[in-house]
Structure 1
Amino acid sequence: MVLSDGSVADLCIIDPQLCGDENAFLSFEAIRSIHKLMDDDADGTVDTMETDEFLREDLKYHDPKAKHSSFHRADPHISVEDMWSTWKSSEVYNWTAPQVEEWLVVSVELPQYAESFRKHQLDGKALPRLAVKNISLTVSLLKILDRSHVQKLQLKALDIVLFGPPPGRQNQWKDLLLGLSVLMALGGCWFAYIQTRKSRDDMGKLMKDLEGLQRAEQSLLDLQAK
């Protein structure tokens, strides 16, 4: 992709496969804007101190330790390329339009804009564009005229782009798996109980049959003796 000034977009250098994708280009520019917002000293990377400051001052996290570690992992300096690569490997990147709509309703708590999201088929790949100030998208296309709603949507999108899906969503899957595991365990216990009880009943019946045979044999012996 060539820009108006004739230069090649950074996306084409970092991610040649998506070079001609207009939506990817817009999302990449949004990621770069987020990186620039976090990179206070403009040295091209976001260090741990800048991340901590961003989490406390911009995202209003009082205890940002968990978010901090999930963002940096083992890398103390995050470049635009690092951020783009992490975003592409995120679960949220592959969200479908219905999943984004569910996030809007459940996590962002702005269900009144669900129809607009549905109309424009915004999927996970478009979320970085919601994480930056984008009047064309939020006001012109999505018709979100309430400034507080725009700000809330931006902060929620920023959080999910940088740190992945909300904990509630992850816990929901964990709870489901835990529930299935408990049900399987209970089913196994019940099956074992039934089998044990059946074996006990069969053993009792067998013992009674043996006792009956022993009595019959003894009776026969007594009869022969007489």
Structure 2
Amino acid sequence: MDFSKSLTLWIVCLCLLKGSWTAQTISDPPNIDNGVSELCRIDEPHCRDGNTILSFEAIRSIHKQMDDDANGNVDVSETDGFLREDLNYNDPKAKHSSFHGDDQFITVEDLWNTWKSSEVYNWTTDEVAKWLNDYVELPQYQEGFSKMQFNGSVMPRLAVKNTTLTMSILKILDRSHVQKLQLKALDTVLFGAPPMNKHNHLKDFMLVVSIVIGIGGCWFAYIQNRYSKEHMKKMITDLDGLQRAEQSLIDLQKK
């Protein structure tokens, strides 16, 4: 009888444990599974690619960071606060139009589709290296980027906090450099390719014109100064002659 009671008790305990484990599994699935499911719904052809999944998870993380009220949409006020507090824009009005356009509420799907249509998404490894050198101004990490063959599609992964990627893989140990890289990548993901240091012929022309005007101005000032000195010297000579003539007239009157 005691054995039957013990067996029954063990069975009940096992059933309770199994039920608890099952409930926990259902109610708290791994976050990556949710991301894959959502990616497959949004972008089914690419939802089995490992790099795409990681980039989509980064986009979800960026959206969550911007969505203060966690309602699934990023509105204009949330964007304004994010730009001022996280990206340190003093006047973010110009960025609103490029981010929101005609859509006042940005979902994860909207953010993902905008990112995939961005010029940066199709950047080559060389273009990413140029971005790292010219815009981020951290050329010392180009070797790590080249080894990992980072192209434009991985940019969202650089825009979120990921110590494994930045420190372990890219060997960026300086925290200020990590933060700078993250902010620059975040700005690039949200607002597209930055101007960087592209060759601008108009700018070169204006620079040459400015130099010519500067040299011309200096030459004109030199000529004017020289003319003024000669004119002043002539005036002094004339005044001396006039004074001598007046003195001669005074002496003649005295006689």
CA distance in 1, matches of 2:160, 2:81: 18
**How far is 1:65 from its partner?**
1.2
Within the alignment, does 1:130 sit opposite 2:158 as a pair?
yes
Please name the residue that 1:95 is paired with. Answer: 123
CA distance in 2, matches of 1:12, 1:54: 28
AA aligned opposite 1:60: N
AA aligned opposite 1:159: D
- Summarize the alignment of residues 166-177 of structure 1 with structure 2, pairs less than 5 Å apart: 166-168=194-196, 172=198, 175=200
Please name the residue that 2:142 is paired with. Answer: 114
Please name the residue that 1:47 is paired with. Answer: 75
Within the alignment, does 1:23 sit opposite 2:51 as a pair?
yes
CA distance in 1, matches of 2:193, 2:135: 10
CA distance in 2, matches of 1:22, 1:4: 16
| CA contact 2:128–2:152 (8 Å) conserved in 1 | yes
AA aligned opposite 1:84: W
Runs of 4+ in 1 over 4 A off after TM superposition: 3-8
Choose from 77, 80, 84 the match for 1:56. Answer: 84
Please name the residue that 2:110 is paired with. Answer: 82
Which consecutive unaligned segments of at least 5 residues does structure 1 have? 180-226
**How far is 1:4 from its partner?**
5.7
Q: Provide the aligned C-alpha RMSD in A.
A: 1.8
CA distance in 1, matches of 2:122, 2:140: 24
AA aligned opposite 2:189: V
Residue 20 to residue 105, structure 1, CA distance change in 2 (3 Å):
same
CA distance in 1, matches of 2:37, 2:131: 31
Please name the residue that 1:162 is paired with. Answer: 190
CA distance in 1, matches of 2:100, 2:117: 15
Which consecutive unaligned segments of at least 5 residues does structure 2 have? 1-28, 204-255
Within the alignment, does 1:149 sit opposite 2:177 as a pair?
yes
TM-score scaled by structure 1?
A: 0.73
Rg bigger for which structure? Answer: 2
Identity %: 65
Please name the residue that 1:12 is paired with. Answer: 40
Aligned length: 173
